Structure 1
């Protein structure tokens, strides 16, 4: 009986040992299966992460190409029209702008383009006048290209620039265009002191320093007659109101907006509203044609706001 009991205990001991060994083996198998599952999950996670990273890198470099090509507006061109970050002459990124903007319209009058078409002549009511023995006879601003970045500030006469501290920013531009008699003296901190172009008509003319371009806006034949007289005979003192008989300005820097350009602005940009485009608005469109980057200071209207929406200009409103 004792032997039987010992055998029974022995069998129980062996059975327990077998169970223990089987449990260890099962545990090892379970652990192995878990490790395999974890490895598969890790591989899937790394694959997904790698794919996502690849996509993000592709998007990043794609956007970088777009940024370095035309800002961040998503239009890639093999040859940029200028060296600026954004080029106003690029008509590919705005259907609306492309419909309005004509890069071939004559901007400034010279002897070559002074013979007007019948339609323009009828609209402007002009007759031939001898101008160019007196004033520069050349094609201005024909140097546009991928290596040029000409920045321009168009400064209005609004009082909302007072206290703006825009003066240094305005003077930093290559060209600073001012309108009519817009003052600078005493307001340099807000409107700057630099003036490269002053766009006037006879009734708004003022004396200029030797480095500033006088850009005449001729809306009637008498305006050109006055310009010639102001530098020669000085005998015109009246249009529809009193005008200066002479003006202090550098005649070698005199420019005359082309009548066809004025009509183009009237037809394309104002859609025939009013008798003539305003001096400020003509100055803006003039800037769009001779500059690569345009910033507006001190005034706005519906079309100007649209130009900003189309990323063609940047408006600096000052205090409103």
Structure 2
């Protein structure tokens, strides 16, 4: 809680994890499949920063805001039919932040052969891109990719492991790990937990 702005990601809970993550969240970045939906985790002081990856994500957001029936077709995981945040708490992330994360920071290819799936930065890298845009100093806690122990957990709140992340075709976690080390060694980002 010592920082002016705190960014949390996806469905990572706060309540029950205050000793690890504090109890303050300024911004929560997520997309339909990753949004937090547990009402007990609601915080009236948090701004939900919506990260659309596809046109369908925006359609979903409009539907939940105006309380239309929500379709789960076209999503890799069923998104919730409603959200816990009020409309005045919702912002849509400027696409240039995602573009910067993908092409300037990660150097992902802009032209992808039709037979290959596109690659996207993870929400963590997008959050770092956003923080670098709006903050003079960026401190990161808990972001890690443990390539030595593929059974290590990815998040403080779930049992998802590195082996499951390694199978993801949509993220280049090797490139992300290299970027994290570069950002740390250049003192662009400070690693509070010594994970990268």
C-alpha RMSD of the superposition: 1.9
Give the corresponding residue for 1:275: 119
Aligned to 1:218: 52
Task: List aligned pairs for 1:62-73, cutoff 5 A.
Answer: none
Match of 1:309 in 2: 185
Q: 2:53, 2:119 → 1: CA distance?
A: 10
Deviation per residue, 1:117-143 (Å, 9 max, x gap):
xxxxxxxxxxxxxxxxxxxxxxxxxxx
Partner Cα separation in structure 2 for residue 263 and residue 313 of structure 1: 19
Match of 2:22 among 163, 167, 192: 192
**Structure number with higher relative contact order (C-alpha < 8 Å, ≥ 6 residues apart):** 1
Structure 1 contact 209–250 (Cα < 8 Å) conserved:
no
CA 1:190–1:261 in structure 2 vs 1: closer, same or farther (change >3 Å)?
closer
Normalising by structure 1, report the TM-score: 0.44
- CA deviation profile, 1:90-148 (whole Å, cap 9, x unmatched): xxxxxxxxxxxxxxxxxxxxxxxxxxxxxxxxxxxxxxxxxxxxxxxxxxxxxxxxxxx
- Distance change (3 Å), C-alpha of 1:184 and 1:316: same
Does structure 2 retain, via aligned residues, the 8 Å contact 1:298–1:317? yes
Contact 1:211–1:250 (8 Å) recurs in 2: no
In the alignment, which of 61, 67, 70 is matched to residue 236 of structure 1? 70
- Corresponding position: 1:209 with 2:43: yes
How much does 1:183 deviate?
Answer: 1.9
Aligned length: 150
TM-score (norm 2): 0.70
Do the aligned partners of 2:47 and 2:91 also contact (CA within 8 Å) in 1?
yes
Q: For 2:195 and 2:62, how far apart are their aligned partners in 1?
A: 40
Rounded to whole Å, the distance in 2 between the matches of 1:194 and 1:206 is 15
Give the ranges of 4+ consecutive aligned residues of structure 1 lying more than 4 Å apart after TM superposition: none
How far 1:299 sits from its partner (Å)?
1.2
Helix, strand or coil: the match of 2:182?
Answer: helix
Question: For structure 1, which runs of at least 5 residues remain unmatched after alignment?
Answer: 1-170
The equivalent of 2:131 in structure 1 is: 287
SS in 2 for 1:308: helix
The equivalent of 2:153 in structure 1 is none
Relative distance call for 1:232 and 1:269 in structure 2 (3 A) is: same
Contact 1:209 1:248 in 2 (8 A): no
- Whole-angstrom CA distance in 1 between matches of 2:85 and 2:25: 13
- 1:250, CA displacement in angstroms? 2.5
Task: Give the C-alpha shift of residue 319 in structure 1.
Answer: 7.8
Matched position secondary structure for 1:244: coil
Confirm or deny: 8 A CA contact 2:25 2:46 kept in the other structure: yes
Deviation at 1:261, TM superposition (A): 2.8
The CA deviation at 1:259 is: 2.4
Q: Return the alpha-carbon distance in structure 1 between the equivalents of residues 62 and 46 of structure 2.
A: 18
1:22-47 Cα shifts (integer Å, max 9, x gaps): xxxxxxxxxxxxxxxxxxxxxxxxxx
Equivalent residue number for residue 179 of structure 1: 9
Contact 2:14/2:21 (<8 A) preserved: yes
